[in-house]
Amino acid sequence: MDMEKEKIGKRMKQPSTFTLTIPTEHPPAERATQGPRLWRSLRHFFWHSPDNRSLIDLQRRAVWIGLALILQSLNIVVQGIGYIDSAWPALLSGFFNSLLPLALLAGSFFAIWMACRPHQQEHYPQAQPGFWQRAGLITTLLLACIGTIIAGIALVMCFLPLSYANDGASLDTNAAILLLQGRNPYTDSNIIDVARRFSIHPDWTTPLRQGQFDGRLDYPTLSEFQSVMDRALKTGHAPELESRVSYPALAFLPLVPFALLKLYNVLPFYLLTYLLIIIVAWKAALPALRPWIVLLAIANIPMLGLTIGLNIDLFYVLMALLAWLQRERRWYSALFLGLAIASKQTAWLFVPFYFIMTWRNIDFREALYRIFIAAGLGLAINLPFIAWNPQAWLSGILAPAADPMFPRGEGIISLSITHLLPYFPNWVYILLTGGIMLGMFVWYWRLSRQCPEAAMLLAVIPLLFAWRSLPSYFCCTAFPVFALLAAKKLSICSQTY
């Protein structure tokens, strides 16, 4: 056993992209003491010491993450403008609703890649940050002002009656209520009951290409949604709207306490989840980078939007982040990964990358062992519902892929939605997504030792080519990447077992 511990300890001491030499106290001479007063006021974000070029490089990477958040926030604004004014000419509407958002999203991915890509020590930047870094920091600070307002609104909303902005959250809350009533959420879930209980807007449901929408590809209009909902409330039957609980059990189990107390405003859970992401990132970060952690967390308009939108992606991102941060500890890391895959299917995409990272940095046997632990925990959490009704559970978690949903999203499918390209058969998007995913596996095989945090980006890139590439798939990428970059390098291999 001692030999096995020593083996893992040696293998997990992977070559890092950076060799950090950060003093415990920063003498005043290392701070920015020259330049305009505005620049001197930003000295907490940049340290100028020729002996700490690795830290300077991390600060440069933080600016790239800030740029990614700026581009993703602009994407939200652009899409809002495009969708609000549907009377625009087709070409202009297509530009705002597909080409420009796709370009902004691709630009944000490029910025994230620039933040995490490995390079040689001799390629470190100059000690003094350039004008683009200063401008990027100031712009990120301005974005953080908007983020502060959004965070304040979210805090106030915790104490008000909540209107559900998506059917995923309302179906999950309803599933918690059904569970307390002794009913199976995977068999008894009904979107009509949800609409009556929570007064959700018709267009906040997920339409299916059947019933009144059979045979069509263009997304229904608001009036069509309203017509379907009105008829469903009268007849009690809505084949055009998704009624299944479409996530694994850990998506709704945390909401059971709210249902037990009859507190149907579940925003505090999602707000607490985002706060935990920030706390975990701050605690793991090097002290000199903690101001960046706070700034980027507040400027993270996309993830703040997911918080207000009650999106379960926040929970799996928290668990995945912990799995990567604790990658030198077998049990902690694998158990966190298991919690992630027990909450949402998107987390399943990270499992092969985790396997590759563990294989490359320890060995194949350890990778198998950890995946077995993670899969066992995910299965154990869902096992009561599998035993209750295996067919209903399987139909529920496969619903996002198996049910006839409309094409939707920000990837290449947006070019077809706006009729700039024709719709291709569904298998084309499946092949594209699968092929790109295989390419990401090969790429990560080469990167995983120097750049393990790249998994947070590479795992979601293939979804750009999917039939449904929802914004929530991509909003939780930038901040976790920097959280991993800024993390302390702890020597805890002796605690692997």
The DSSP line for 71-129 is HHHHHHHHHHHHHH-TTS-HHHHHIIIIIHHHHHHHHHHHHHHHHH----GGGPPPSS-
Strand partners, 176: none
Range name among 23-37, 277-291, 392-406, 414-428 with the lowest pLDDT average:
23-37
d(CA 358, CA 377): 18
Summarize pLDDT for 199-250 with one digit per residue, the tens. Answer: 788 888 899 999 889 888 989 988 899 899 889 888 888 889 999 999 999 9
Report pLDDT for 493: 31
Q: How far apart are CA 456 and CA 72, in angstroms?
A: 16
The mean pLDDT of 477-486, rounded to a whole number, is 94
More confident call, 79 vs 484: 484
Q: What is the mean pLDDT of residues 453-458?
A: 95
| Confidence category of residue 381, pLDDT binned at 50, 70, 90 | very high
Give the pair of three-digit tokens for residue 288. 């000199």
Please tell me the number of Cα atoms within 13 Å of 263 on its side-chain side.
14
Comparing 365 with 489, which gets the higher pLDDT?
A: 365
3-state percent helix, strand, coil for the chain, nearest multiple of 5: 70, 0, 30
- What pLDDT, on the 0 to 100 scale, is given for residue 58? 86
Q: What is the pLDDT of residue 136?
A: 87
Length of the chain: 497
Integer Cα distance of 266 and 162 in angstroms: 8
Q: How confident is the model at residue 286 (pLDDT cuts 50, 70, 90)?
A: confident
- SS3 call for 469: strand
The predicted pLDDT at position 7 comes to 52
Q: How far is it, in rounded angstroms, from Cα 393 to Cα 399?
A: 10
Band of pLDDT at residue 119, cut at 50, 70 and 90: low
Q: Please write the tens of the pLDDT for every residue from 124-183.
A: 555 566 778 888 889 999 999 999 999 999 999 998 887 777 888 899 999 999 999 999
Q: What pLDDT is attached to residue 14? A: 46
Domain limits, the chain = 2-161+265-495, 167-260
Residue 88's pLDDT is: 55
In the prediction, which pLDDT does 32 show? 44
State residue 392's pLDDT score.
Answer: 94
Residue 211 CB neighbours (<10 A): 15
Instruction: Give the mean pLDDT of the chain.
Output: 84
Residue 469 β-bridge partners: 409
Angle, to 10 degrees, between the axis of helix 390-397 and the axis of helix 364-388?
Answer: 120
Average pLDDT over residues 473-488: 91
pLDDT band at residue 335 using 50, 70 and 90 as cut-offs: very high
Reading the block at residue 14, the tokens are 């992977």
472, pLDDT greater than 70 = yes
Q: Which of 55, 57, 91, 105 is nearest to 477 (CA)?
A: 105
Q: Residue with structure tokens 């495009």?
A: 82
More confident residue, 361 or 3: 361
> Over the stretch 263-282, which tens digit does the pLDDT of each residue have?
889 999 999 999 999 999 99
In this prediction the pTM is 0.87
Question: What is the percent of the chain with per-residue pLDDT over 90, rounded to a whole number?
Answer: 56
Confidence of residue 307 (pLDDT cuts 50, 70, 90): very high
* pLDDT at residue 26 tops 50: no
Other residues' Cβ atoms within 10 Å of the Cβ of residue 188: 16
Distance between CA atoms of residues 474 and 460, nearest Å: 7
The whole-number average pLDDT for the span 340-347 is 95
User: If you average pLDDT over residues 36-60, what whole number do you get?
Assistant: 66
pLDDT at position 21 is 40
